[in-house]
Structure 1
């Protein structure tokens, strides 16, 4: 029997069984209530209680069998598992229905189950984060056992081309030693991110102020969805736009001024990346500014401030925690962007302050290190984990700074409803 048939039998039996359990539990509670007996919960809650404790043992049995399969126990026939699961559900239904009584705390049991599910979901996200961190740390340790930590952090030369020969044991005296100085890569990452945020932050915040404070409802309902369309455009499309339109425009403008500019520059990538981030900052900032209570604005106007002063000195400071969160989200998006940099800023690590030259970012080098036919335990491949670890630490520091700033604004303006 095929797996599709087994799935059909299992879900085709479990779903009706849960529905029957719900109806039986609800009807029994309704009958008790009609007799004038006070019941602890609503009839619908008794129905969900019965359905929950009918389906839960079946799901737990299935999960247990799946774990046993993962550990190599494959002697149990799948059809027997399906039949046993449905039989267990039927037995659970009979047991639960018999124990239903007016004093059964169905609502409390359902709320406790929901609370456990929410806690479990939170733990999964936390454990996933720690799992990612530990996997990066372990592989980074392997990398730093091969290469110098300080050379990686403070080195200015990134030349890993011969690392795959060293990993294969084919390096000779005539082969130059691979170099993993990450300073040019992180400098390019922060430089392009800085350009992107210089474009996105003022435009995003000013457009948010216009939509929330000056635009009519009709205009706002037109502009905001139009801006949010930009957030759904694939980054590769932005990359094409940067390479075909923005880069030649930058070259032509600076050539007219007598300045040499590369067709693959940090400026072109940063500008297009900033355009991509504008809807993120604008939409979130608009929501936060709009949520500032109207009585705060009215109080400011009553004290003699005009509308512009109210926005500058009252509304924006009150909404600053949300604006900082929006900017932080934009920075995270910029730090993690790859396609725009590949198509508009090149793959070459270049330590320079000239935005008209080509440079690259951390995520691009991570992708480059993990593709190809080199051995996984080579220094070149392991360098991707070291780059990821440093980027993780940098992002963590940015988060800590932003959280500290947000708390200061909360304490200063006593914001409790944003």
Structure 2
């Protein structure tokens, strides 16, 4: 490792392997997108939206707090060790989802899944950022998130097909057993640690584009800096939270909403698949655009495109299946615009000496959006109906986009990306 160099071209082999690993990581989340809410209503006969969405709340809260410490662990130990730990903790998940005898077992599975995702997905993000350096961050994050969320969508579609053919459990969860074994073996056998690349960049960067300097990775200090002291990092963190609020809302609401509207299980599978697939594949394009156009335009307009998705679904402009598909495409497209730009903006603003911790804080706020979105949807759904959860999510998304428009300054150093 003495002659290490930063860059995507210079490290394409390891980068490609990390993309493959993140497909397995994303696939584990895709296991739940179509089937688990229906397991709650059909198999366990749960009538409360809040109780059904409790698995998403548990996942989101646990993943958020795990993200928070993952950066500290990555800075203190090696990225590879944290990645392997994430896979080991996730090993029981498909078995609990497929054979758990009560709803509490589903909750336990989601606690473990949240820890696993917080460690494993965080490390694939950090490791790719370490490898590529500042010039291709948007592209790197686009490819990483494309692989992860593309796998979320394809797995959601496949589990919907398996559930309609064989039943809700256990067949759809066999896929998760493959993901955990393959992901763990790849992480142990072929992935190399990337912390030396971050140390190299630390020596090369005195001050970031946002004026941030080197600092000993103290979590409390980084938390304050990322959450509210730095205007750019605050803008990014709140936008990430609202973006995942939309995902958490749709995760729980869409299967129940569209089944009640007369859409079949396979149709719901397509609706649930389209959102993350467009989100994932779209980032192959939007990631490089974030390196060319800058981070802020994609974040602002991505939030506004998501608002259009809420409008299409919420106003019932088409029949339920068409509205669900068109709205999900718009939600996916808007999220594809936002996601790599947000991660790249954090990486721009935070100094390499505390970047992993800052990314952990950003991902803490972002993934709290899962829990907040599911909780909001459950409360609103119980009192006003599930469609109102869609309306409120759209209003909040519009306000978030305006905050970024007003408060955030461009973080990309254009001299480095030429």
Normalised by the length of structure 1, the TM-score is 0.26
Query: Which structure is higher in helix share?
Result: 2
Normalised by the length of structure 2, the TM-score is 0.26
**Higher relative contact order, structure no. (Cα contacts within 8 Å, ≥ 6 residues apart):** 2
